[in-house]
Chain A
């Protein structure tokens, strides 16, 4: 399975600032996914990033708040803009691949980026 590197691994940010998280994959992949994991909450998909096209955002997430870049098949960035304490969370990059059965999408995750907003 793919190996995913994310950075930063953690950061402490001031309210109103923006932070960009980088995700590097060791192989070419079509789709990359960005998830948010808030304390005590489920992993929630923010958006799907396809190379060469606009990212597709899930309900409740907008491009102005979470702009995504996907310049090539091995790299993506997620920016968390104009941060507030409510954005304190772990942000995870993942890539998918069919498990071989019924096309179910088995995900491989990076280690995550833990953001704390003061």
Chain B
């Protein structure tokens, strides 16, 4: 069974204090690993897709990396507007399988 575990559940950072969020996964052949951002009262917003170990993608202060067992979302010099819940999801290669989501990491950045 495909599974996604995210840690920590919640993270509180000072503005400018860099850190990383972890997404550990087990999947029967990875088609893609996804990162989403979700603000309160809104639906998840797509950030990145990673396909194979060693791949990295960046967007502003965010950088996502992928290994065969986990993905990291690195946040460099975060700002209060980066406060949100970050969701990780995986999609298996077999058939048209649905995405399996983790429970998310709730990030708070304090000015």
Contacts and interface: CB of A to CB of B under 8 A. Distances in A.
Contacts of A115: none
A102 B34 CA distance: 13
Interface residues of B, number: 24
A41 to B, nearest CB: 6
In this complex, the member of B31, B44, B46 whose beta carbon has the largest number of chain A beta carbons within 10 angstroms is B44
Contacts of A99: 32, 49
B4 A106 contact: no
Interface stretch (B12-20, B66-74, B76-84, B97-105): B97-105
B103 A42 contact: yes
Interface in B28-57: 31-32, 34, 41-46, 49, 51
A101 B49 contact: yes
Given A101-B51, A103-B31, A42 B4 contact: yes
B21 interface: no
Of the candidates A4, A42, A101, the one having the most CB atoms from chain B within 10 angstroms of its own CB is A42
B101 A104 contact: no
Interface in A31-62: 33, 40-45, 48, 58
A9 B42 CA distance: 10
Given A104-B32, A106-B34, A111-B41, A42 B101 contact: yes
A112 B42 contact: yes
Interface of A: 1, 4, 9, 33, 40-45, 48, 58, 92, 94, 99, 101-112, 114
16 contacts: A4-B43, A43-B44, A43-B87, A43-B99, A48-B98, A92-B43, A101-B49, A102-B32, A102-B51, A105-B32, A105-B91, A105-B99, A106-B49, A107-B44, A110-B43, A112-B41
Closest A-B pairs by Cβ, 6 of them: A104-B32, A109-B43, A43-B101, A42-B101, A45-B98, A99-B49
